[in-house]
Every structure is written in C-alpha cells, then in structure tokens.
A = this chain, B = another copy of it.
Amino acid sequence: MADKSAHSKIAKRSPTIRDVAGRAGVSTATVSNVLTGVRPVAKESRRLVLEAIEELGFKANHMASSLRKGNSLTVGIVVPNLANEFYGALVRRYEESAARTGYELLVAASGGQPQIEALRIESLINRRVDGLLVVAAADAFGTAPGFPAKLPPTVLVDRDFGHPQYDTVASDNLGAGRLGCESLLQLGHRNITLLGAPELNSAHALERIDGYRQRIREAGVAERVLVGEHTIEGYRSIVEQELRRHDRPTAIFATTHFGTIGAAKAISAMDLKFPEEISLLGFEHAEWMTAMRPYISVISQRVDELALESWRLLHLRIAGVKFRLERIRLPCTISLRESTREPLTVKSLARKRAT
C-alpha cells in the first residue's frame, strides 16, 4: 500500500488528529467528536475514524486538548516527605481516586519547608493543575515569601486545620489525645506520661497533647508531658530518662509514630517487664507491629477516609460547586492490644479481692 503522507520515510512525530482525519476521509472536527463524544457522529464515520486511529496507533495529545479546553485533568499533591508511610498511604489513595476519574497526579515534596513548598506549588500552577491537595509544610499555609498569589481549588489535609481560606480535612487530634488518655485511665493508670511531638511548625501536634491534658485534668490526675527532639533517638533518650525516675510512670502514651518506636526501644533497653510494669500506647498502626512482643496498642488515623474526603471536596470545588468553607474532622480509632494493661498495683488488688 502506498503511504499517503508527504514523507514516506520513517514517521518520527506521532500521528495527530489531522492524520486520522485524512486517513478516514473526514474532518478533524469529526475525529474530535468521536474522541470526545460531545456531538453525535454517524455510525459509518465513527467506524472509519476508529479504524484509522487503530491503524495509525493514534493517541490524542492531552496537552493540546487541555490547552484548548482550559482544564488539565491534573491534580497536584504536595506533602512534606514522599517516603513517609502515612503520606505514602495518602498518595496511594489519591492515585486510586485519580485513575478512577480520569485524572493524573503530579507529586511534589516540600521537605517541610514553606519556601520549598511555595516553589513547588508555583511549578504546579505553571502546569495548570486543576486543583491542589496539600499537607502543609507549616501552619499559616500560604504566607511564605514568594508564595503564589492565587491558587487553584485547594484542600489542606492533616495539617493547618481550620485555615481561613481553604477547605481542610484532618483527624480529630484532640479527640485522639482524649481517647488515648481515657483508655489508659480506664485500665487503672494514674501515672501516665505523654510523649508528645515538639510544636515545630504545626500546631496539630499540640492538639493531641491538649486532648490528653483535658482528659487527665477531668480525672483529677497529675499530668506529665514530655516533648523532645522529633527523632526516634530523641524520643528514646527522653523516655529512658523518664523510666529511670523514682516516680516512674505506669504507662506511656506516645502521640507520634516516631515516639512510639522510640518509646518501645527505650522500654526494651531497660530491665522492665513489658507490658506488666509499663504500658505503652502508640500512634499509627504499622505492619511491623504484628511482630513485636507485646503487640503494641495504638491509636490510628483513618488515612483512607482522610484521602477520600479531601478528594471529594477538591472534586466539588473543581467542578465549581459553591459551598461554605468545609472543615472536616475525622475520628481516630484505637486498637487495644497487648502493650496496654492495668498497672501492677491495681491488678494485685483485684486479685486479692477475688480471693
């Protein structure tokens, strides 16, 4: 068969809608209509077009259509750290939602630095993303020097809840703090040390601490809050010190995943019976915990729902649906396992009573 195109040598550039139109003997408009389904196309024309597409291996250039249509079907996602398990789980869910609805995901990492976040977001805006899902590098999102003046529809997740300008979705951190404290109190603990994250640049770490404080005050029990460097080693060393005190706590409540690991490490480094002599309530379930002895009790965020809800809001905003600023708090869940027990004293008393 003779090649219709001008250059019959190697076809370097990929075929365009024009090539398809030529081959099918119709206009580009008809090809476009077959592709988009915006207007009806006669059966015969459609067949010809589809054939031509097949034969040429034509793939519609999404950038061209985006440029023309003025939307990119692309969402940008910005997180502090892509290697983080929690954010990884978020991104995974976003990708699922995106793939399901014909969107693609442009990912960027801020490293927790507002200036970098500003830069990365600017770059995403240049790509004309339809919307942005952001785990803010710091509170007061959008105030870094050089931050773009106008963003596309944006939803803030996990951090900087209650931002005055954007919809926000986050876990009920205060509730999580209360819940953890409550469960320890119910077991009979009266000497509970909270291992909190330093404020750093987001207040959301403080919310969990506040929850603990609220609940423990209601119980009329003395509070004790430890805050250290936000690294496993930092948490380990501070917990180790704590466990050496004469007035050692009977339970530790870590409100971060790192804190959980650090505390577990500190406990196993000491000569304490775990969990008999010291209870540990951690944060954020992870696969490896199933291998720990004792199996660590934790409070976990509902990452799937965080992703779903934030995606839903963003989707509505992109669609132009008007509604008041949304602020969604999702409850955390507690998984009581082996690392939380009633303190020794209470247990002994109970036994005595029983006999």
Contact = CB atoms under 8 A, between A and B. Distances in A.
Interface of A: 13-14, 57, 59-64, 66-67, 70, 72, 74, 81-85, 88-89, 91-92, 95-96, 99, 104-109, 120, 122-128, 148-150, 232, 258, 261-262, 264-265, 268, 286-293
A219 B268 CA distance: 37
B104 A104 contact: no
B122 A95 contact: no
A108 B232 CA distance: 31
A35 B53 CA distance: 37
A298 to B, nearest CB: 12
Nearest to A124: B104
Contact of A104 (B64, B123, B268, B290): B123
6 tightest A-B CB contacts, nearest first:
A264-B291, A82-B92, A83-B92, A265-B291, A88-B88, A288-B288
Contacts of A126: 59-62
How many identical chains are in the complex?
Answer: 2
B149 A57 contact: yes
B107 A127 contact: no
B82 A125 contact: no
Contacts of A124: 104
Contact of A268 (B61, B108, B120, B291): B291
Q: Give the residue among A14, A63, A124 with the most B Cβ atoms within 10 A.
A: A63
Given A62-B127, A88-B88, A92-B109, 12 more contacts: A57-B150, A59-B122, A74-B127, A99-B108, A99-B109, A104-B124, A104-B127, A106-B106, A261-B288, A261-B290, A286-B288, A292-B292
Contacts of A292: 268, 291-292
Contact of A95 (B108, B261, B290): B108
A355 to B, nearest CB: 29
B99 A120 contact: yes
24 contacts: A14-B150, A57-B149, A59-B122, A60-B126, A61-B126, A61-B128, A63-B66, A63-B128, A74-B127, A83-B89, A85-B85, A88-B88, A95-B107, A95-B108, A99-B108, A104-B106, A106-B106, A232-B291, A261-B287, A261-B288, A262-B291, A288-B288, A291-B292, A292-B292
Q: Give the residue among A92, A124, A149, A150 with the most B Cβ atoms within 10 A.
A: A92
A59 B148 contact: yes
A287 B236 CA distance: 13
B84 A88 contact: yes
Contacts of A60: 126
A23 to B, nearest CB: 16
Contact of A62 (B61, B120, B128, B232): B128
A292 B295 CA distance: 12
A127 B63 contact: yes
A52 B80 CA distance: 33
Nearest to A126: B62
Nearest to A268: B293
A36 to B, nearest CB: 13
Given A66-B63, A125-B59, A109 B96 contact: yes
A148 B58 CA distance: 10
A293 to B, nearest CB: 4
Contact of A261 (B81, B82, B84, B291): B291
